A and B are shown apart, each in its own frame.
Chain A
Amino acid sequence: MPYTCEQIEERMVDYLDGKLDEKQLRQVKAHLEACTTCAENLALQKAWLDQTIPLIRNDPERIAADNLHVSIMAAVKQAAEKEKNTAAEDESREDQARILLPWYRRLTTRNVLTTAAALIVLVISIQVFAGLYQSNVRTGDPTNDEMAGILAGDGETSSLEYAEEMPFDSDRDDINDNDIGIMGEEGTDTSMPAIIDDGRQEELPELDLFEIDWQVYSGFLADLPVGGSLFSQRDPGETQPVPTTQETDDPDLIAPDDPDADPTDESALIDSDIDFSEDPLQALTLIEQAEAIRVLTREGPPAETLLMTFWNESDTAEAWKNLYMMSQTWPYRSILYQMPAVNAQEQLYEELGAELTDEIFIDIDLSRWEIILIRIGE
């Protein structure tokens, strides 16, 4: 069977690499003899590789200056210094209407608490929050005192009013040293919930994804100025407008659903359908979630805007489910954004007028997502 033009195109790369076997080669050549279009295209591509490319590669401007690495390092040091100073300023400020960045500074693999005990602590503390929110009618933020009370297990504030659905699967054994924990230095992070030691050994039922009211959730999405869905990558072919500042349609580095992406790739994200009744949500690690809740429930009065950035690292849905449920009970509008890493900040600044920061976290697992949780006052 002689090759079609389309098949020639498919094999062009290999042909030019000299990687076709004899049989393929013969068939390609046969087609090229008969087809001037393809022959012309081949000639162009050959000229590109053989003539144009060397010209571009040998451009003297393309060679780095000898001392570039020195000036780069100087700039790195300067940037680091500047950040240390601003971080110090931030911490000394009473005003909580600020962008929460500092706790990321503590992210190192060494600091991650990975013991089972730590997990249980987190599970219990999150459970408590869930119980608190769901069983009490609240119109405002729980006070810090109340929270502290619950966490300390002082018996006055009930920690037994759990929601029917427990948000967690406590059998998490997939957190290892390489996960980015969000705890501070062991023993020095006073903002961590205290260990609740009341001897309870309850088994936590799994959250049933189907019972979540995803309609409510899509309601959020309808309000979102960004065209993306919450957890999935946007398919560039979809008609949803991409209200970003860039004009790219790059489906991978920039984010949206990539029909070409390797489905076995661990860091590949889920189907772009906003049908969350299907599981595969990318989720925060348990620890990250706990930290998110800690921060969001204990920091700042309702009317403020908090900005938090998460890296999407784990592949269980549990943490996200829980976070979502948490967000339902907050007295302010919560928006869970998923935006391409490279333009996330810009997007946000445009919409919120939030203070510009050039923090970008890059995950070695080549995760492309940055999820931004925004709490905005009524």
Chain B
Amino acid sequence: MSDVSENTLIKQASQGDDEAFASLVELYSSRIYSVCFSFLGNRQDAEDCAQEAFIKAYKAISKFNFKASFYTWIYRIAVNSCHDYRRKYQKVVIHSLDQDLETEDSSVSMQIADDNPLPDEIALANETKELIHQEIQALPEYLGQILILRDIEELSYQELADVLNLNLGTVKSRLARARKQLMEQLKEREQNAVKTRQKTDRSARRSERR
């Protein structure tokens, strides 16, 4: 869809043309859903959040003044909605060392040290995704959103700057920080998993001897 006709849709929508707004929803709902999913981690929440974002957009569309692109605008609404949604409906994921030590969970490079069968590729992939999602959520919000929007949603740096209202330099430096911190979290998780496995091995060996 060309810019011209999209602008027409927006104008019509802000004048109350619901069909025009429906067209905009059709154009953007996939992308908005995806970003919500990346933030929230499950389909139901993502759908609900995307819905909320479009409701807000509908109410605010008459204020759209074409200074930025609709894409940027709706994305910003979505990111805001995601933050809101997380706070309202999702528990804060606290990355705690104790948690790691007590669970049998392991980093993706380790086998699960229990009597379950070895995970097949799909199970491993799901575990990875869940793990990564937890770790991203454990990042401070202003870093997590950059990671999501750039690495997962693949927005350009300029789009990121526009959506988050930052300059390009800040976008890149935050991205660097976000990635670095994520790596550190993952390393920590792996180290804890190693400790857990070592503990498990040791106690298994001890009980064997008895």
Query: Cβ of A76 < 8 Å from any Cβ of B?
Result: yes
Residue of B nearest to A80 (CB): B58
Q: Which residues of chain B come closer than 8 Å to A200, judged between CB atoms?
A: none
Contact B33 A68 (CB under 8 A): yes
Query: Cβ of B118 < 8 Å from any Cβ of A?
Result: no
Task: Give Cα A55–Cα B126 distance, bound, in whole angstroms.
Answer: 9
| Interface of B (DSSP majority class) | helix
Task: Give Cα A79–Cα B68 distance, bound, in whole angstroms.
Answer: 26
Query: Cβ of A304 < 8 Å from any Cβ of B?
Result: no
Contact B42 A61 (CB under 8 A): yes
Q: In A44-91, which residues have CB < 8 Å from any B CB?
A: 44-45, 48-49, 52-53, 55-57, 59, 61-65, 68-69, 71-73, 75-77, 79-80, 83
Query: Cβ of A252 < 8 Å from any Cβ of B?
Result: yes
Residue of A nearest to B126 (CB): A59
Contact B63 A61 (CB under 8 A): no
Contact B145 A253 (CB under 8 A): yes
Q: Which residues of chain B come closer than 8 Å to A52, judged between CB atoms?
A: 128, 132
Contact A73 B21 (CB under 8 A): yes
Give the shortest distance, in Å, between B143 (CB) and chain A (any CB): 8
Give the shortest distance, in Å, between B198 (CB) and chain A (any CB): 21
Contact A53 B151 (CB under 8 A): yes
Interface-side segment among A113-121, A132-140, A260-268, A315-323: A260-268
Contact with B38, one of A10, A55, A62, A366 (Cβ below 8 angstroms): A62
Q: Which residues of chain B come closer than 8 Å to A343, judged between CB atoms?
A: 84, 87
Chain A interface residue count, CB cutoff 8 Å, equals: 67
Task: Give Cα A248–Cα B144 distance, bound, in whole angstroms.
Answer: 11
Contact B170 A362 (CB under 8 A): no
Q: Which residues of chain A come closer than 8 Å to B141, judged between CB atoms?
A: 246, 248-250, 253-254
Contact B55 A79 (CB under 8 A): yes
Q: Mark B84-111 against chain A: 1 for CB-CB distance below 8 A, else 0.
A: 1001100010000000000000000000
Q: In B6-64, which residues have CB < 8 Å from any A CB?
A: 14, 18, 21-22, 25-26, 29-30, 33-34, 37-38, 42-43, 47, 50-51, 54-60, 62-64
Q: A69-B26, A265-B167 are in contact. Are A362 and B179 (CB under 8 A)?
A: no
Q: Which residues of chain A come closer than 8 Å to B202, judged between CB atoms?
A: none
Query: Cβ of A161 < 8 Å from any Cβ of B?
Result: no
From A73, A107, A247, name the one whose CB has the most chain B CB atoms within 10 angstroms. Answer: A73
- The 6 A-B residue pairs with the shortest CB-CB distance in the complex, in nearest-first order: A250-B142, A262-B167, A64-B33, A260-B170, A69-B29, A248-B141
